[in-house]
Structure 1
Amino acid sequence: MDNSFLPYYLLTSALLFSIGLALVVVKRNIIVVLMGIELMLNAVNVNLVAFSKNDPSLQGQIFSLFVIVVAACEAVIALAIVLKVYEHFKTVNLDEINELKK
């Protein structure tokens, strides 16, 4: 990989991370917040692979696989929590969920 493409990958990654962060901060739907977190994790993966291609001794692709596994586990656990929250409160809007007791 030529070093001239690295800034484009970093710019794409920064854009993905910014969109994900905006979704997490602005939106109040649990599903949209989880999608924002997934976008931020994918931005990290783009950075890891770009730097790995630039310098093969960094092993960024292995770390990227680890991040993908963590993201898959996070998605499964978070969706299970969302289902339980919806079962209890009958909503997935974060503003309407304001108590933790039954």
Structure 2
Amino acid sequence: MANDIPLSWFLYFAAAAFATGLVGVLLRRNAIAVLMAIEIMLNAANVNLVAFWRYGTPAAGSGPLPGVIIALLVITIAAAEVAVGLGLILLCYRRWRAVDVDRYDSMSG
């Protein structure tokens, strides 16, 4: 364990990735780019979960891989979020012929 990468490096990387995703969500107008930025944020959370699992002390009564199991759950939720998000983007594109999120403010039927 002496040759391992320190935990702080993982935390810095995850913070930078999360900040990049947050900037992408706040500044982008393209709906697909916003979805990609959200995925970057979710991956940053996964890096934190697995890093804390790897370097943390195991809790009493916890399973063998709690951090990895939660990360897999987040990946599954992210896949469902992308499927629903892309479906909504395709429907909005068919209606307005644009993937600009500023044009989606009038989504009433």
How does the TM-score come out when normalised to structure 1? 0.92
> Per the alignment, in what secondary structure is the counterpart of residue 103 of structure 2?
coil
* Gaps in structure 2 of 5+ consecutive residues: 60-65
State the alpha-carbon separation in 2 of the partners of residues 41 and 92 from structure 1.
22
Structure 2 counterpart of 1:47: 48
State the alpha-carbon separation in 2 of the partners of residues 51 and 9 from structure 1.
9
Shift of 1:100: 1.4
Paired-residue identity, %: 39
Shift of 1:94: 1.2
* Gaps in structure 1 of 5+ consecutive residues: none
Choose from 91, 94, 101 the match for 1:84.
91
Question: Alpha-carbon deviations, 1:52-88, whole Å to 9, x = none?
Answer: 0012526211100000000001011100010000011
Structure 2 counterpart of 1:64: 71
Q: Which runs of 4+ in 1 moved over 4 A?
A: 1-4
**RMSD over aligned Cα atoms:** 1.6
> Per the alignment, in what secondary structure is the counterpart of residue 106 of structure 2?
coil
> Per the alignment, in what secondary structure is the counterpart of residue 98 of structure 1?
helix
How does the TM-score come out when normalised to structure 2? 0.86
Alignment length, in residue pairs? 102
1:14 maps onto 2:19 in alignment: no
